[in-house]
């Protein structure tokens, strides 16, 4: 008997172990996850949408990259609707390695106006994994602030431009506010 759109999808445990699925989950890229569900399990948009509580129009927008998923409660609803195992539900908000510790340290020091922070932040940026888009936006904003403190306004603007692009991708209103405020400060100083 053919499953209906209202039946919960049966997702084999091996699906959650696939590297491309793990990457999509790590990046909280529900568009990629939904496409992988379609590609490997043959699930329709309707079936996925019904399981996760998203209407057909919203599913289409997410899958096609027009809209993203931003709110934690929606991520939780998706995880519950797809019956994700615990290890797949972990979308790390906290990364503990030397690069991220340097990034956080730089974030603190730039608030105190330490001009030497720019080198540490530049090194952290060079070592950062591509999967941390939101963290990179924050790091570039901090680096721009440190460069501004040193009087390197053109270089600061270059990092702010990239930070703005990344913040748009992640939908981070907080990062966009930080970038807007720093852009104004640099413009006044120039």
**Coil/strand/helix, residue 141:** helix
Mean pLDDT confidence for 161-189: 86
Question: Domain-by-domain residue ranges, the chain?
Answer: 13-89, 98-189
Q: How many CA atoms lie within 13 A of 36 on its CB side?
A: 19
For residues 120 and 105, what is the distance between their CA atoms, to the nearest angstrom?
Answer: 9
**pLDDT recorded at residue 186:** 84
**pLDDT recorded at residue 3:** 61
Under CATH, what is the fold of the domain 98-189?
1.25.40
Would you give the DSSP letter of residue 7? S
For residues 149 and 58, what is the distance between their CA atoms, to the nearest angstrom?
Answer: 44
**pLDDT recorded at residue 71:** 80
Going by pLDDT thresholds of 50, 70 and 90, the confidence category of residue 96 is low
pLDDT tens track for 6-42: 677 889 999 999 999 988 998 889 999 999 999 999 9
In the CATH scheme, what architecture does the domain 13-89 have?
Orthogonal Bundle (1.10)
Q: How many CA atoms lie within 13 A of 21 on its CB side?
A: 21
């Amino acid at each position: 008997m053919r499953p209906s759109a209202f039946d919960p999808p049966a997702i084999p445990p091996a699906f959650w172990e696939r590297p491309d699925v793990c990457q999509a989950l790590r990046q909280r890229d529900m568009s990629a996850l939904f496409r992988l569900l379609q590609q490997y399990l043959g699930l329709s948009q309707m079936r996925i949408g019904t399981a996760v509580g998203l209407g057909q129009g919203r599913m289409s927008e997410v899958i096609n990259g027009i809209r993203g998923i931003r709110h934690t409660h929606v991520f939780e609803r998706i995880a519950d609707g797809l019956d994700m195992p615990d290890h797949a539900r972990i979308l790390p908000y906290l990364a503990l390695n030397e690069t991220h510790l340097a990034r956080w340290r730089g974030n603190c020091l730039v608030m105190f106006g330490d001009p030497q922070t720019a080198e540490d932040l530049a090194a952290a940026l060079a070592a950062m994994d591509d999967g941390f888009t939101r963290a990179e936006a924050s790091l570039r904003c901090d680096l721009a602030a440190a460069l501004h403190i040193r009087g390197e306004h053109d270089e600061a603007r270059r990092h702010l431009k990239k930070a703005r692009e990344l913040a748009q991708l992640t939908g981070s209103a907080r990062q966009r506010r930080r970038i807007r405020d720093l852009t104004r400060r640099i413009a006044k100083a120039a």
